[in-house]
Structures are given as structure tokens and as C-alpha cells.
């Protein structure tokens, strides 16, 4: 049954991804789509109101500068709304201003598509903040990711070109043609399944035992939809997708998991269409799928096997159920954990802190690999394309030619940028965690001693720099140290990749393409798929092995020896 | 002297990588290269050197303080880290050694020359080093030509073995494509006046010295890109190891600095980092071995990427000369009659075509050669005016020539060209041959079929190139009909007929615009623009100075098919880099499994589960990994110098092969190597 559930999920995912990918290719190539009659006038109106000129394309520097300014302003807006929420409307619980460090952290978090939440939603944020600041950024950050990958795709597809597209147009079209329609449909489905959508004050109800309980309310469904589709992951409630109002039924659980990966998976199809060779996209999709299946397998196996000490004590079933929603069980929780960390989503339906060490290692490793196993909306594919460039370079040399991808030579500039794109997030994770492990401010927040505490720190910085946003919990992250350190990690992890990626887009666009011949290294073969997956794994594993050895690896070995933390 | 400077004979003596004469000077260089300013050129090895230095300082401090615990290990670690640097230096020094030895002999040739400078018609003896551009010198039999130049007067046979290694003398004369002379070569007979075209220090010999010596070796584009990747990896590992300390402190298991350095050195890509420059130098060297001088490493690298090859028909695809292959008689004439007349007309014709007619007549009709003198014949040589040659004897007047020339001739005699002969002429031309019409008086006897003879084995060579992914294009001055026939017979992919320097240049530009990399060979001054435009331009050493200046390689043997070998060497160069990079990275897996459990064996004995090699002690584990890391550099030096073998079996097959050897091999080899070293260390009680 469990196995079937995982297979069913993957089949559904691919069935949805292919048509969506094809549709997105039409959207970004500027071809006609069935939504044009409604959206075209709206698009034109938006450009007129915003006063932007979309007639002229941008070179990579202009594209990057526009993107940076736009995102910076978005972050400032989120910060200000949080600070002023006490005097703003839609605040039935009368929450006061969010403290500056937390507001900074949250603003960075939602602008970078991380959605790390150092706060509990139902006890901190007003409805206005949730809707006007957070949900809006859920759309904008996801659209930014799509825009970057579309720009990179154009850079790879074009020949001897100076420009890579228009940021305003890519951003607007991602929202209007992709994110909004999908969210609208998905939110309605969620409401039909019982996800709440209201602006009422919290309810106080009497439980069956006669106790009194406060039920948090709010416009959940609308935020839930984009939280997943945009791989944002910031839950309306603290319990995120383990909360019955966010994820009420097995059907919503399945749909939510599909929603997380559908756009990242579909973008590989879009990529194939836009570069004029669908198999190029499929090869990347296959590599992602391969890594994903490996990850699910390990998490599921480890959770299934559970903790032998608990088993002998007889306090729980044979498997590791602690920290999991009993409604979902092992398979579904393992799958959700893998899905959410594969994509840089970070929505959770189980407590990752309670996963077995090995089961928790995989989500962490997936983030450390650079969020490229499907990955975040847009960011997953552009991250993977950076690995494609690395793979082509290392492996391509072995066929005796200057490495090339899609007929374009990989030269010094691309290598410089690709190396930076891998190095910057890795450095952020390692240096951040190192700083936290070495300082009082860092270690004071740890709730669990020993290697598990180290895992918690590593996970936090990986989650921040990888723009995932899920947490190992078990770490009190709402302190000035972590709010600022993680906020910075998110910003560096986001733009430290986006800028090199756009630079690659620019330099690749300017190149000529060599037609493929028998001496060309094929990037559509199964061999390439395997190599790409291997390079992703090896680079990630080599970078983080020492740190992981002292965290989850040793913890798993200790657990098997009968010690727990 | 020139005999000693002969490159190929020198190379014949130093085929093996471990020639004693090269090893000893290399060992000296090994220590010179410890200078951090030299190491800075190679960031990976620079990090190792700093690591070795730090380990040494820590060890000395420990000894001074009187600490006992780790000293034995630290001394060995420091020693092996220094050895790692020395091994990498040795690889580079050895690769440079061969070139340096050659440069030395070449330099001796140059410095001892005196020049006979002509000033107002009078000879002045000055040292060659004082010659300047535009000076005129006289070179007589026995003299060494004092500098590069153009022959402006005279003709001489020149021994060019000093630069080419080819002992057969060549003719150099004023005007035309044989006017270039190279400084350092020797005039054997006659005399020439030479206008010097290069200042001292800029001559071909100087450039050659610089090249073989590697003095001005600049990193090639791909080398730079790879270095960036290696720097990136080094930084990643530097971070991984540096942040291990806070994690270790948090875990209550502090790691001594020398051990961290050992871990770092094991992880950073020292194998490829240590061998990278040796690979590049060895690539240039392999070219030199085949008597090709590359003006830059960049050109060698580009050769590996070439996917269009422009080849001159004459001399490359076909033997230089046409050969008679058939006699096709006119109606009413027997084959023997035609052959007899053709033979008589060709007896005095010393051109290869003429001789081939005599040979064919003998082979086909057993017609023996006759003595023209005894026949009282008078030879009519070919003239540009009549465009015919022939013989007059005993009232017979035999002529041979192109169809239109003979037609004019027989008309004058009152005859005409029969329609059948006209058809034969057209047919021969269509098949790629040259029809030579033979007439006696007013009567046309028939046609001699002169054919371009395709070189033996060339078709297979082109098939091989096709499998390498390289398209061959034949360049010829022939008409399209003839060109198409020869192209089909030789098996080239495409051809350019009626080629002029302009159409050649345009063809190259067209291919480049489509993203192709083009290689071509050339020797004439009119080839210079195309040679300069091509991504890889190989100039024949027998060619003009202009051609040699324009190309980025010079083939000292002047053998146009050598381009194929040049391409292979370029590919080998890139493959060797890729393979050793993959090997280097794959090695790290085993090193982690050796070192990480050893680092934390006290705090977390459970991590011993990762010690899958079952290494004896933590000390022996760390030391074994470091020793393996050093030894693998020296073990791979021969491979780096020789290059990974290239076979034209298509990209995917090559990739699979190299992945198995260097990827999988790189994963497995260190597990075995480290275990063996560990066993040895234990046996020797070193750890």
C-alpha cells in the first residue's frame, strides 16, 4: 500500500507536469494561450498603471538590477507592514507590532521564497499581515524564481544575443498566467475539502470532555494554495500542513504534495520546449526523479525501521510514529518530508525533528544539495542547470573537447559563475552553522544535547541558505542571533545564486552554438542523467560530510547502539 | 652543430618519460619551485605548501614545548605534506625538462653564428645578434643562415635539419613560395642574398626556444576554467574542514590543527592540481615529437575542438602529380598505336606526368623505352604559347596536350577532332581525370587518361575523422566536375572547387559563423589570410614566411595529413585533464571514510562503523590517506606526460570508457591503496 501510494504520487505528478510545462512554454515564448482573452487586457492595464516599458528587452545586468530593486522594495514593504500591523485593519486579535529582528527575519524569509517562520502565525500575525504582506510575497517570490529560470533558459536557447528578456513581463506573466489561475482553482478545491477561509475572530469552543479550546481562524485556503504551488511553505498556522485546517483530508494531503512539485517539475518540460529539444528537459527531469526516489526510499526505510530502543521498550509501535500525524502515517509523512525538502517548500506535515536521524539526514541533505531535486519554483531548475554546467565541464572534458552545453562552449566566465553559485550557499551554511556552534548565542537555543543539537543548527542554516524554510524545530530560532543570522543566510543564499545564474544567462546568450555531431557529448542520454545525479550527490556529500558525520550520521549510529537525544 | 640540434634525433633518445638525463635536472628544479611566488601560479599546491609549513611550525612548537603525544605522527605528516608539494613540482619540472634540453642546443646554434652583412655591395663580418630587419646578408656554401629572411637573389640548397630534423636538403630561391629561409639552417651549395625579416629575439628560432622551454607559457582558456573549478573545490573543502573545528568543539572532540590540515590536503584536488601544468606542457611536447611547433597552448587546445578540416587536394589527398592510367584510342586506331605515339612524345618529357605515360606504355603493351638520340628525334618542349609538347622524328610529328590546344593544332594541319574523341574527353573530365589528347600530324590518335591518384589509406583516414566528428572539406583549383569526382573517390564530406584565396577565406568564415571550429593547412603567401582566419592554421615549414607568421602551428615536416595527429593530441590534452579531475574528485570518498572515523574515534567510537577499510589505528588511517595522496601524484606522472589514449569511437563510447577507468577506478583505487599503505605502516611500526 505504502509503495503504491508513492508510485501513484509520482505518476500523477508527471501527468500534471507535462501539459503544464508545455503551457508555460507558450506563456513565456509569447504564444497564444486560452487565457489570453481575459488576461491580455489585464496585463496591459498593469503595465500602464505601473508605468513600465515592456517593449524593450533587458541585458542580464539590467535584468538583475531590476530584479534586485523590485525584491528589495518588496522586503521593505513586508517589514513595514509587520511593524505597523497594530494600527492597520483586519486585526481582530489585536496583535501588536512584530519586533524588529523578527520582522527583518520574516521579511527576508518571505521575499526570498524561504518562508522560514521564527514566529507562530496564529499568535503573531494579523490577517492583514498574512494577506497583504506574506501572501503577496508568496506570489512575488515564486514569480521571481520563474522569471530567473526563464531568463536563463532564453540565454541558453538564444544565439549571439545581447538580451535575455524583460523582467517586468516575465514577472507579470508568471503571476497572471501561471500562479494566480492555479492558486484560484487549488484554493477552491481546498475549501471544498474543509480548509477554512474567513476573516472572523478566533473561536472558543467547548470540547467533548468539557474543556475549552481556542480555535484559530483566518483566510487559510488562499494562502495555503500559493504556499504550496509557489514552494513557499510558510504555514498560516504554526503546525503548518499537519494542522487540520490547513490539511484536512488524505485527498488534500495528496493534492498538497502534488501542488508543491508540479511547477518545478513542469518547468523542466518548459525548458525542453524553449531550447527546442524536449529531451534536454526530460534528461534533467529524470535526474531529479532519480535523486527523489533515492531520498524517499531512505527516509521511508529509516522511519519504517524506527528506533530499536523504543521498540524494545514497547512504548510505541514498531515504527517511528512520534511527531507524525497519525492521520497520515509513515509513508505519507516520509513522502511529504521528501517532497517539501526536495522542493524548497518547507511546508511540513510531520515534525522533522522527530524523524529518525537517518530519516532526518535526507531532508537536510536534499536542502544542502542546493535544492535542486525539483527544487523551488524556478530556483530548483536554475540550480540544477548550474550543476548541469559543472557536470558537462568535468565529464565533457573526458570526450576530448572543450565542454559544451546545448552547443555552447563552457568557458572561464561560466565556470566562475557556476562555481560561485554552488560555493556561496555552501559557504553560508557551513560558516553560519560554525558560528552558531562556536558561540554562546548560537548554542543557547538548542533544546536537544549532543549530535541532535548540531543537526538542528545545520538544518536551520541549510534551510535558510537553501531557501527551504522548513525547520528541525527543537531549536528556539526566535532570538536576535538566529533571526539576523538566518535572515542574512536567506538573502545570501537567494541572491548569491540568482546573480551568478543571470550572469551565466547573459554570457551564454552571447555565444554561437555549434551543431551537434558524433564528437559531441550527449546531454539527453540516460548516462548523462545518471552523471548529473551523481555530480549533485558527490558535490553535496563531499562538502557536508564532515559536518553531517558529527550530526545525523553519528546520531543514527548512537541510536542503533541504544542512545537517543 | 646542426646535426646535434636535430630535434627528432634528440627526441628519439628521450622517448621514455623517465630518461635519466631529464630526471637529474628535474630534481634540481623541484626545490627551486618551492618558492611561494612560483607556487602561487598553482593555487591548489599553494594551499598544500602553506599547510606543510603550518604543520612544520606546529610540530616544532610541540617539540620545543616537550609535548610527546602527537609528535611522531606530526613529524611524518609534515614530511609527507612537503613530499606532496615536491612530487607536484617534480611532475612539472620533468615535463619542462625535455623542452629545456632542446632549447639549450638550439640556443647554441644561434649564438655562434657570424653574418656577412652587405653594405654598399661590400661584405662586413658582424655577429648575427647585431642584425636588424631589412639588413641584407650574403650566405655562401657552408655558412649558417644568420637570421630569418627572404631570399632576394640566388638559389641554394639548404640543410634545414636544425629546425626540421629532416636531413634531405631543400632548395631555396628568390621569388615564389620557396623564398623563406630560417636562421640557424645551413647553406650546402651555391649562394643566396637574404633580406632579414626579423630582429634578434623575434626569430623563428627564438620563438621555438621560448616555446619548447615553456618560458612564456600562458594558461590556456580551458586550463583557466578548470583552475577556477579547482579553486572552487579547494575553497569548499577549506570551509568544510575549517568549520569542522567549531562542530568538533561543540561535540567535545577538538581536532589538532595538523590533522585538520592533513584532512584538507587529502580532500583538495591535489592530483589534478599537481599535474595540470605538466599535462599542458606534455601536450605541446607531444606535438614537438611529431615535429609540429605550436605557437600557443591555446592552438593545441583548439585543435581538440576542430570539427571542420580544410585540406588541399594536391599533396594531401592526392599524390602531387597526375598519373596516366589508360589509353583510349580514337576510332580506327589501336591501343598500341596510341601508346607508341604517346610514349615517343613523352620520352624526353621529364615531368612526372610524362614519365607516368612511359611507364604505362611499358606495362600495358610491353613497349620498351627507346633512346631519342639514336632515333634522331628532336623534342618539342611544352610552351605556354602552344600548350603542347611532343617530338619530331623521321617526318613524324607527334603532339600531346589539352583537348582545345590539340584541336587548334590539327585544324591548322587540315584535320579535325573526331566526335568520339570529344566525348571521351568530356567523360574523362567528368570522372575527375585530365584528358591528354595525342595527335600525329593532322590525325588525332586518342586520349591519355591522366588521373589524380588518391593517396593510399587516405579514405580510411577520412572515415576515422568522420567517427571523430570531424567534417573534411577538400580545397582544389579544379573545376567542380573534376573536384566532385575526386571528392567522391577520396571520401571527403565536401569540396570547394575553383578555389581562390578569397573563396577559401569566405568558406572558413561561413563555417565559423555556424559555430564550427576550422583547421587548415597551407604553405603559400596567398594562404596567409585563410591560415590566420582558421582556428587552427598549420603552416608548412617549406612554405613562405607570411604563411608561417599567419598560422598558429608550423609543421616542420611539411606533411599536410599531420593535421589529423594534431587534432588527436588536442583531444588527448582535454581528455587527460578531465580524466584526472574526475579521478581526483572520486578519490575523496575513500579519504573521508579513512579520516573522519579516525578524527572522532575517542568521542564517538560508534563512528568506527564508517571505518570500512578497517584501518589499524586513527594515526595510521590519517597517515595512510596523506601518503596515498602524495604517491598517487607520482604514480600518475607517466599518464600525465603520455596523455589518455584517444580512439575515434564516438563521444559516448569514449566517455563510457574513461568513466569506468577514471571515475569508477578513482572511487575504488584509494580504498585499496590506503588499506595497503596502512598495512605497511603497521608492519613497519610507523603508526
Q: And the C-alpha cell for B316?
A: 594531401
Residues 610-639 of B with CB under 8 A from A: 610
* Chain A residues within an 8 Å CB radius of B253: 550
Within an 8 Å CB–CB cutoff, is residue A400 touching chain B?
yes
| b/e burial code for range B643-663 (CB count within 10 A of at least 16 → b) | bbebebebbbebbebbbeebb
* Chain B residues within an 8 Å CB radius of A538: 585-586, 589
Residue B156's domain is classified under what CATH number?
2.70.150.10
Question: Which residue of A lies nearest to B597 if distances are taken between CA atoms?
Answer: A549
Q: pLDDT grade, residue B683 (50/70/90)?
A: very high
| CA–CA gap between residue B180 and residue B158 (Å, rounded) | 11
Q: Report the domain count for chain B.
A: 4
Q: Are residues B466 and B431 in the same domain?
A: no
Residues 454-493 of A with CB under 8 A from B: 454
The 8-class DSSP code of residue A212 comes to E
Q: Are residues B193 and B219 in the same domain?
A: no
CB contact under 8 A, B585 and A538: yes
- pLDDT tens per residue across span B543-586: 777 777 788 888 877 776 788 888 889 999 999 999 999 999 99
Q: What is the pLDDT of residue B9?
A: 39
Instruction: Answer for the pair B624, B677: CB distance below 8 angstroms, yes or no.
Output: yes
Of A123-132, A261-270, A400-409, B377-386, where does mean pLDDT reach its minimum? B377-386
Residue B204 lies inside a defined structural domain of this protein: no
**Residue A393 Cα distances to A416, A531, A533, B251, angstroms:** 12, 12, 15, 38
- pLDDT tens per residue across span A17-52: 999 999 999 999 989 999 999 999 999 999 999 888
Q: Are residues B337 and B435 in the same domain?
A: yes
pLDDT exceeds cutoff 50 at A104 = yes
Within an 8 Å CB–CB cutoff, is residue A361 touching chain B?
no
| CA–CA gap between residue A56 and residue A166 (Å, rounded) | 7
| CA–CA gap between residue B402 and residue B222 (Å, rounded) | 54
Residue B292 lies inside a defined structural domain of this protein: no
In 3D space, the residue among B202, B177, B298 whose CA is nearest the CA of residue B546 turns out to be B177
Residue B120 lies inside a defined structural domain of this protein: no
In 3D space, the residue among B395, B41, B452, B381 whose CA is nearest the CA of residue B231 turns out to be B41
Please give the annotated binding residues of B for ATP, written as ranges.
349, 353, 382-389, 400
Which residue, B531, B556, B581, sits at the end of a domain? B556
Q: And the C-alpha cell for A388?
A: 548541469
Of A394, A437, A515, Cβ closest to residue B582 = A394
Among residues B206, B312, B340, B452, which one is catalytic? B312
Within an 8 Å CB–CB cutoff, is residue B221 touching chain A?
yes
Residue B218 lies inside a defined structural domain of this protein: yes
CB contact under 8 A, A546 and B232: no
- pLDDT tens per residue across span B221-272: 888 999 999 999 999 999 999 998 898 888 888 888 899 999 999 999 999 9
Within an 8 Å CB–CB cutoff, is residue B570 touching chain A?
yes
Q: Are residues B539 and B598 in the same domain?
A: no
Of A292-296, B457-461, B670-674, where does mean pLDDT reach its minimum? B457-461
Which residues span the domain enclosing B426?
Answer: 324-449
Of B228, B469, B651, Cβ closest to residue A416 = B228
Binning chain B into helix, strand and coil, the percentages to the nearest 5 are: 55, 20, 25
Mean pLDDT estimate for chain B: 84
* Chain A residues within an 8 Å CB radius of B251: 450-451, 454, 550
Which residue, B528, B556, B584, sits at the end of a domain? B556
- Rounded to the nearest angstrom, the minimum Cα separation between A25 and chain B is 26
pLDDT exceeds cutoff 80 at A316 = no
- Output the DSSP codes for B537-550: EEEETTS-HHHHHH
* Chain B residues within an 8 Å CB radius of A542: 236-237, 240, 267, 585, 588-589, 592
Q: Is B418 exposed, middle or buried (0-12, 13-18, 19+ CB in 10 A)?
A: middle
Residue of B225, B252, B260, B652 to mutate, interface with A, max A Cβ within 10 Å:
B225
Helices (H), B480-561: 480-490, 501-513, 528-533, 545-550
CB contact under 8 A, B654 and A430: no
For chain B, first and last CA: distance in Å?
Answer: 57
pTM for this structure?
0.85
Percent above pLDDT 90 for chain B: 23
pLDDT exceeds cutoff 70 at A473 = no
ipTM: 0.89
* B312: annotated active-site residue: yes
Could you list the beta-strand ranges (E) of B504-648.
Answer: 518-522, 536-540, 553-555
CB contact under 8 A, A438 and B221: no
Residue B535's domain is classified under what CATH number?
3.40.50.1000
Q: Are residues B445 and B363 in the same domain?
A: yes
Residue B299 lies inside a defined structural domain of this protein: no
Within an 8 Å CB–CB cutoff, is residue B662 touching chain A?
yes
Q: Are residues B156 and B88 in the same domain?
A: no
CB contact under 8 A, A398 and B654: yes
Which residue, B449, B484, B518, sits at the end of a domain? B449
CB contact under 8 A, B574 and A415: no
Within an 8 Å CB–CB cutoff, is residue B244 touching chain A?
yes
Q: Are residues B95 and B241 in the same domain?
A: yes
Within an 8 Å CB–CB cutoff, is residue B596 touching chain A?
yes
Residue of B601, B651, B652 to mutate, interface with A, max A Cβ within 10 Å:
B651
Q: Are residues B538 and B499 in the same domain?
A: yes
- Rounded to the nearest angstrom, the minimum Cα separation between B686 and chain A is 26
Q: Are residues B484 and B430 in the same domain?
A: no
CB contact under 8 A, B467 and A518: yes
Amino acid at each position: 500500500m505504502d509503495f503504491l501510494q508513492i508510485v501513484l504520487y509520482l505518476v500523477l505528478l508527471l501527468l500534471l507536469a507535462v501539459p503544464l510545462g508545455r503551457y508555460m512554454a507558450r506563456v513565456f515564448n509569447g504564444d497564444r494561450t486560452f487565457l489570453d482573452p481575459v488576461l491580455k487586457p489585464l496585463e496591459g492595464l498593469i503595465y500602464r498603471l505601473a508605468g513600465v516599458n515592456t517593449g524593450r528587452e533587458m541585458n542580464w545586468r539590467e535584468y538583475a538590477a531590476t530584479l534586485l530593486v523590485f525584491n528589495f522594495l518588496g522586503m521593505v514593504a513586508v517589514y513595514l507592514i509587520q511593524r505597523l500591523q497594530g494600527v492597520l485593519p483586519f486585526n481582530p486579535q489585536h496583535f501588536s507590532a512584530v519586533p524588529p529582528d523578527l520582522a527583518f527575519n520574516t521579511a527576508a524569509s518571505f521575499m526570498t521564497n524561504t518562508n522560514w517562520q521564527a514566529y507562530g502565525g496564529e499568535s503573531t500575525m494579523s490577517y492583514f499581515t498574512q494577506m497583504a504582506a506574506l501572501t503577496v510575497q508568496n506570489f512575488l517570490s515564486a514569480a521571481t524564481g520563474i522569471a530567473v529560470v526563464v531568463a536563463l533558459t532564453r540565454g541558453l536557447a538564444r544565439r549571439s544575443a545581447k538580451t535575455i528578456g524583460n523582467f517586468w513581463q516575465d514577472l507579470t506573466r508568471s503571476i497572471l498566467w501561471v500562479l494566480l489561475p492555479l492558486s484560484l482553482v487549488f484554493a477552491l478545491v481546498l475549501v471544498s475539502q474543509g480548509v477554512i477561509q474567513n476573516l472572523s475572530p478566533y473561536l472558543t469552543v467547548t470540547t467533548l470532555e468539557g474543556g475549552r479550546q481556542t480555535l484559530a481562524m483566518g483566510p487559510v485556503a488562499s494562502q495555503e494554495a500559493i504556499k504550496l504551488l509557489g514552494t513557499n511553505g510558510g504555514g498560516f498556522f504554526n503546525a503548518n500542513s499537519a494542522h487540520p485546517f490547513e490539511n484536512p483530508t488524505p485527498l488534500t494531503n495528496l493534492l498538497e504534495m502534488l501542488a508543491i512539485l508540479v511547477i518545478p517539475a513542469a518547468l523542466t518540460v518548459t525548458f525542453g520546449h524553449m531550447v527546442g529539444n524536449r529531451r534536454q528537459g526530460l534528461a534533467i527531469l529524470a535526474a531529479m526523479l532519480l535523486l527523489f526516489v533515492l531520498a524517499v526510499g531512505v527516509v521511508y526505510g529509516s522511519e519504517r525501521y524506527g528506533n530499536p530502543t523504543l521498540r524494545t521498550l514497547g512504548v510505541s509501535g514498531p515504527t517511528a510514529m512520534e511527531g507524525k500525524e497519525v492521520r497520515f502515517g509513515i509513508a505519507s509523512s516520509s513522502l511529504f518530508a521528501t517532497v517539501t525538502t526536495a522542493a524548497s517548500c518547507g511546508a511540513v506535515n510531520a515534525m522533522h525533528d522527530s524523524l529518525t536521524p537517518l530519516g532526518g539526514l535526507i531532508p537536510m541533505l536534499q536542502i544542502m544539495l542546493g535544492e535542486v531535486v525539483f527544487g523551488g519554483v524556478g530556483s530548483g531548475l536554475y540550480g540544477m542547470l548550474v550543476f548541469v554546467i559543472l557536470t558537462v565541464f568535468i565529464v565533457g572534458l573526458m570526450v576530448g573537447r572543450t565542454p559544451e552545453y546545448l552547443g555552447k562552449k563552457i568557458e572561464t566566465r561560466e565556470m566562475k559563475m557556476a562555481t560561485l553559485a554552488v560555493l556561496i550557499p555552501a559557504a553560508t551554511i557551513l560558516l553560519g552553522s560554525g558560528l552558531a556552534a562556536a558561540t554562546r548565542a548560537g548554542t543557547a537555543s538548542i533544546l536537544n544535547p549532543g549530535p541532535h543539537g548540531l543537526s538542528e543548527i545545520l538544518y536551520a542554516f541549510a534551510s535558510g541558505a537553501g531557501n527551504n524554510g522548513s525547520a528541525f524545530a527543537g531549536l528556539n530560532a526566535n532570538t536576535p542571533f538566529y533571526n539576523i543570522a538566518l535572515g542574512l543566510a536567506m538573502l545570501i543564499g537567494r541572491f548569491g545564486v540568482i546573480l551568478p545564474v543571470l550572469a551565466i544567462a547573459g554570457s551564454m546568450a552571447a555565444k554561437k552554438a555549434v551543431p551537434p555531431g558524433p564528437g559531441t557529448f550527449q546531454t539527453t542520454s540516460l548516462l548523462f542523467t545518471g552523471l548529473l545525479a551523481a555530480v549533485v550527490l558527490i558535490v553535496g556529500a563531499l562538502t557536508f560530510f564532515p559536518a553531517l558525520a558529527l550530526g545525523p550520521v553519528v546520531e543514527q549510529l548512537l541510536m542503533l547502539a541504544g542512545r537517543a537525544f | 652543430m646542426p646535426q646535434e640540434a636535430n630535434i627528432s634525433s634528440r627526441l628519439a633518445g628521450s622517448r621514455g618519460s623517465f630518461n635519466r638525463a631529464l630526471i637529474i635536472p628535474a630534481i634540481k628544479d623541484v626545490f627551486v619551485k618551492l618558492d611561494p611566488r612560483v607556487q602561487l601560479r598553482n593555487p591548489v599546491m599553494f594551499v598544500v605548501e602553506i599547510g606543510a609549513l603550518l604543520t612544520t611550525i606546529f610540530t616544532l612548537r610541540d617539540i620545543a614545548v616537550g609535548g610527546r603525544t602527537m609528535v611522531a605522527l606530526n613529524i611524518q605528516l609534515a614530511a609527507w605534506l612537503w613530499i606532496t608539494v615536491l612530487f607536484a613540482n617534480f611532475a612539472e619540472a620533468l615535463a619542462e625538462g625535455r623542452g629545456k634540453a632542446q632549447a639549450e642546443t638550439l640556443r647554441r646554434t644561434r649564438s655562434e653564428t657570424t653574418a656577412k652583412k652587405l653594405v654598399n655591395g661590400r661584405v662586413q663580418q658582424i655577429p648575427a645578434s647585431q642584425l636588424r630587419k631589412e639588413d641584407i646578408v650574403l650566405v655562401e656554401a657552408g655558412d649558417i643562415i644568420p637570421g630569418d629572411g627572404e631570399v632576394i637573389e640566388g638559389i641554394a640548397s639548404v640543410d634545414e635539419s636544425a629546425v626540421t630534423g629532416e636531413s634531405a636538403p631543400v632548395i631555396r630561391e628568390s621569388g615564389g613560395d620557396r623564398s623563406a629561409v630560417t636562421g640557424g639552417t645551413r647553406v650546402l651549395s651555391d649562394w643566396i642574398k637574404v633580406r632579414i625579416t626579423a630582429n634578434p629575439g623575434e626569430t623563428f628560432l627564438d620563438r621555438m626556444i621560448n616555446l619548447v622551454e615553456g618560458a612564456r607559457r600562458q594558461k590556456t582558456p580551458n586550463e583557466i576554467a578548470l583552475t577556477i573549478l579547482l579553486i572552487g573545490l579547494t575553497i569548499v573543502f577549506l570551509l568544510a574542514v575549517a568549520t569542522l573545528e567549531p562542530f568538533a568543539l561543540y561535540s567535545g572532540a577538538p581536532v589538532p590543527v595538523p590533522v585538520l590540515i592533513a584532512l584538507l590536503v587529502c580532500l583538495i584536488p591535489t592530483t589534478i592540481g599537481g599535474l595540470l601544468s605538466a599535462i599542458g606542457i606534455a601536450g605541446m611536447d607531444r606535438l614537438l615529437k611529431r615535429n609540429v611547433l605550436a605557437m600557443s597552448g591555446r592552438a593545441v587546445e583548439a585543435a581538440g575542438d576542430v570539427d571542420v578540416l580544410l585540406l588541399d587536394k594536391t599533396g594531401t589527398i592526392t599524390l602531387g602529380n597526375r598519373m596516366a592510367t589508360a589509353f583510349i584510342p580514337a576510332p580506327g586506331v589501336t591501343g598500341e598505336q596510341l601508346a607508341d605515339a604517346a610514349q615517343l612524345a613523352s620520352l624526353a618529357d621529364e615531368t612526372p606526368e610524362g614519365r607516368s605515360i612511359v611507364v604505362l606504355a611499358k606495362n600495358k603493351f610491353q613497349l620498351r623505352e627507346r633512346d631519342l638520340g639514336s632515333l634522331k628525334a628532336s623534342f618539342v618542349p611544352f610552351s605556354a604559347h602552344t600548350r603542347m609538347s611532343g617530338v619530331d622524328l623521321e617526318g613524324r610529328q607527334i603532339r600531346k596536350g589539352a583537348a582545345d590546344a590539340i584541336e587548334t593544332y590539327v585544324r591548322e594541319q587540315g584535320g579535325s577532332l573526331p566526335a568520339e574523341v570529344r566525348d571521351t574527353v568530356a567523360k574523362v573530365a567528368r570522372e575527375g581525370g585530365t584528358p591528354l589528347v595525342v595527335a600525329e600530324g593532322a590525325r588525332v590518335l586518342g586520349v591519355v587518361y591522366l588521373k589524380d591518384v588518391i593517396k593510399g589509406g587516405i579514405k580510411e583516414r577520412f572515415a576515422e575523422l568522420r567517427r571523430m566528428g570531424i567534417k573534411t572539406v577538400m580545397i582544389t583549383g579544379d573545376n567542380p566536375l573534376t573536384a566532385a569526382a575526386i571528392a567522391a573517390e577520396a571520401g571527403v564530406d565536401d569540396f570547394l572547387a575553383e578555389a581562390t584565396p578569397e573563396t577559401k577565406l569566405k568558406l572558413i568564415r561561413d563555417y565559423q559563423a555556424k559555430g564550427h571550429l576550422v583547421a587548415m593547412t597551407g604553405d603559400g603567401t596567398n594562404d596567409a589570410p585563410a591560415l590566420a582566419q582558421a582556428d587552427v592554421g598549420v603552416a608548412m615549414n617549406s612554405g613562405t614566411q607570411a604563411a608561417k607568421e599567419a598560422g598558429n602551428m608550423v609543421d616542420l615536416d611539411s606533411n599536410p595529413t599531420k593535421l589529423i595527429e594534431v587534432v588527436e593530441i588536442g583531444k588527448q590534452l582535454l581528455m587527460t585533464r578531465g580524466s584526472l579531475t574526475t579521478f581526483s574528485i572520486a578519490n575523496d570518498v575513500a579519504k573521508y571514510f579513512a579520516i573522519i572515523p579516525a578524527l572522532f574515534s575517542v568521542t564517538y567510537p560508534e563512528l568506527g562503523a564508517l571505518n570500512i577499510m578497517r584501518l589499524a589505528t586513527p594515526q595510521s588511517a590519517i597517515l595512510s590517506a596523506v601518503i596515498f595522496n602524495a604517491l598517487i601524484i607520482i604514480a600518475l606522472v607517466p599518464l600525465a606526460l603520455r596523455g589518455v589514449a584517444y580512439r575515434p569511437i564516438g563521444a559516448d563510447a569514449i566517455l563510457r570508457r574513461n568513466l569506468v577507468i577514471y571515475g569508477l577506478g578513482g572511487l575504488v583505487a584509494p580504498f585499496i591503496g590506503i588499506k595497503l599503505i596502512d598495512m605497511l605502516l603497521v608492519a613497519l611500526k610507523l603508526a
